[in-house]
Chains A and B, each alone.
Chain A
Amino acid sequence: EDQVTQSPEALRLQEGESSSLNCSYTVSGLRGLFWYRQDPGKGPEFLFTLYSAGEEKEKERLKATLTKKESFLHITAPKPEDSATYLCAVQATSGSARQLTFGSGTQLTVLP
């Protein structure tokens, strides 16, 4: 069974204080690892897809990296508007409809 564990559950940062969010996964065969951002009362917003170990992707202050066991979402010099819940999900190479298996998320709060 595919499993995704995110840590920490919650993270409070001062504006400008860089940090990383962790996503550990167990999957029979990884087709892709996805990062989403979710604001309160809204649907998840797509950020990145990573396909193979060693891959990195960047968008503004966010950089996602991938190894064979985990992914990190690095946040550089965060701003208050980066406050949100960040969700990690994996998609296996086989299985019913190739669904996404989500982690429980990391709630990030960036204080001004």
Chain B
Amino acid sequence: GAVVSQHPSRVICKSGTSVKIECRSLDFQATTMFWYRQFPKQSLMLMATSNEGSKATYEQGVEKDKFLINHASLTLSTLTVTSAHPEDSSFYICSARRGETDTQYFGPGTRLTVL
């Protein structure tokens, strides 16, 4: 299967700071990457879909000015949580796929804790 990495795996930050999470497809070119959020004992909630070189499409209720997504290359997408607050604490997971009909492969996730 394909390999997707995320960095960092864990981050703790103070309220008001910004945090950047990287998602990389290591052995394939990802035309589309997805960002999910997962609360304890709940399923994955899609936040946004990003295609290389174009603006991300955000799901209803997700603030695009707060969760900045950049998909600058076919192997890298970044999620920046701006002015983080304790309620942004969560498990963030990215996924990547080659084309529309391909399987999504997930990264290992990033645990964000905002103090």
A residues at B contact (CB < 8 Å):
31-32, 34, 36, 41-46, 49, 87, 96-100, 102-105, 107
B interface, over-half SS? strand
| Contact across chains for A97 and B100 when beta carbons are under 8 A apart | yes
Contact with A along B1-31 (1 / 0, CB 8 A): 1001010000000000000000000000000
Contacts of B75 in A (CB 8 A): none
A96, A97, A100, A104: which contacts B42 (Cβ < 8 A)? A104
| Contact across chains for A97 and B49 when beta carbons are under 8 A apart | yes
- Taking the complex as formed, is B111 at the interface, i.e. its CB lies under 8 A from any CB of chain A? yes
| Contact across chains for A99 and B34 when beta carbons are under 8 A apart | yes
Size of interface on B: residues with Cβ below 8 Å to A: 26
- State the Cβ distance, B108 to closest chain A Cβ, in Å: 5
Q: How many A-B residue pairs have CB under 8 A?
A: 52
- State the Cβ distance, B93 to closest chain A Cβ, in Å: 5
- Taking the complex as formed, is B104 at the interface, i.e. its CB lies under 8 A from any CB of chain A? yes
- Taking the complex as formed, is B57 at the interface, i.e. its CB lies under 8 A from any CB of chain A? yes
B residues at A contact (CB < 8 Å):
1, 4, 6, 32, 34, 41-44, 46, 49, 51, 57, 91, 93, 95, 100-101, 103-109, 111
| Contact across chains for A105 and B43 when beta carbons are under 8 A apart | yes
Contacts of B109 in A (CB 8 A): 41-43
| Contact across chains for B49 and A49 when beta carbons are under 8 A apart | no
Query: Are A96 and B57 also in contact (CB < 8 A) when A46-B1, A103-B43 are?
Result: yes
Q: In whole angstroms, what is the CA distance A45 to B105 when docked? A: 7
A-B contact list, 20 entries, CB within 8 Å:
A34-B103, A34-B104, A36-B106, A41-B91, A42-B109, A43-B109, A44-B44, A45-B106, A46-B103, A46-B106, A49-B103, A87-B43, A87-B44, A96-B49, A98-B101, A99-B34, A100-B34, A103-B43, A104-B43, A107-B41
Contacts of B41 in A (CB 8 A): 107
Q: In whole angstroms, what is the CA distance A44 to B2 when docked? A: 13
- State the Cβ distance, B42 to closest chain A Cβ, in Å: 7
